[in-house]
Amino acid sequence: MPTTVEIPKEKWTGKVREVTLGATPSNGGTRGREVVVGGEATLPFLHFEGAIPHPPVVAVEIQDRYPADWADPLKEVWGEVLKDPAAWARKAEELGAELIMLRLTVDESGAADGARAADVVKAVLGATTLPLIVRGPGQAEADNAMLVPVCEKAAGERLAVGLCEDKNYRTIVAAAMANNHLVIASTPIDVNLAKQLNILISDMRMPMERVLMDPTTGALGYGIEYTYSVMERLRLAALSGDSMTQQPMICFVGEESWRQKESRVGQGVPAEWGEWHHRGVIWETVTAVTLLEAGADIVTVRHPKTLELVQSTIQKLMAS
């Protein structure tokens, strides 16, 4: 006589906050749809244990200038649209992106042009109906100089802007609050630092339903195991009721994956590494899926094939 085995289940007291990116006309913006992430009451994809109301989403990274330093497989697959951020965003939407992540850069002299950045954001918003993530150059002063005008010119669109770090979070949070945007809180891979920055942002009266958390991530072969463990600890703390760790997590997979030699180098590598174009896509895909299993709610990617593969994997993992 067959026996019934009951699956052991954890009983969590907390859940991840829901965060809405983008604003439709009825909510003061111009987006064709809004994207909600978060809300999980269990660990990633354990549907038998708790609710997972919203699947993770995939954003495609574009840049405000031609990305001369990108690997050839990326340049080849995107072609001429790399020279026009608006056309690039439109193409990404056509290929099935759920969000657009626009990376702002400084010019050749290192100057941060806030007015130009704001104009590029408006052009991208006009070219796509998707919600927009806007990420600065990664230098505190340059981020402030570019993201404040961006927040003002795109007021009401519920952009997700960042990165907010301990050096510059006050300026970016204030601009986001004044213009109805979200912020991305970014810290080195550490549970306590992530929690501390969330507390500081909350102390500025920023609603926590408008905060995404970037725990900083490594790519496959470059610290992804440590990244996974930190993200898992953040999610366990959130589910255990720690309010300041209950933010949806975003991981910038494309940047991390395509700067590694396994993705960037096509000549002079061991034959067993495999064909360059395929290798780069697989490196990015495995990194993205691993971080989704660790608790990422948003992953950003660069290659269209990665977008397809990761979205297909999410669909399978969300089939309860």
pLDDT average, residue stretch 275-302: 95
Mapping DSSP to helix (H, G, I), strand (E, B) and coil, where does residue 35 land?
strand
Q: Which of 4-8, 117-121, 281-285 has the weakest average pLDDT?
A: 4-8
- Token pair 């919600």 is found at 131
Q: Which residues lie below 8 Å from residue 73, measured CB to CB, with a gap of 6+? A: 266, 276, 277, 280, 281, 303
Q: Over 80: is that where the pLDDT of 106 sits?
A: yes
182: part of which helix (H) or strand (E)? strand 182-186
Q: Over 90: is that where the pLDDT of 275 sits?
A: no
DSSP H helices in 79-207: 85-94, 114-127, 140-153, 169-178, 191-203
Please state which of the four CATH numbers 3.40.190.10, 2.30.22.10, 3.30.428.10, 3.20.20.20 is assigned to the domain occupying 18-317.
3.20.20.20
The closest alpha carbon to 103, from 67, 127, 145, belongs to: 67
Q: What is the pLDDT of residues 247-266, one digit of tens each?
A: 999 999 999 999 988 888 87
The predicted model scores a pTM of 0.95
Residue spans of the domains in the chain: they are: 18-317
Residue 314 — pLDDT band, cuts 50, 70, 90?
very high
Residue 1 — pLDDT band, cuts 50, 70, 90?
low
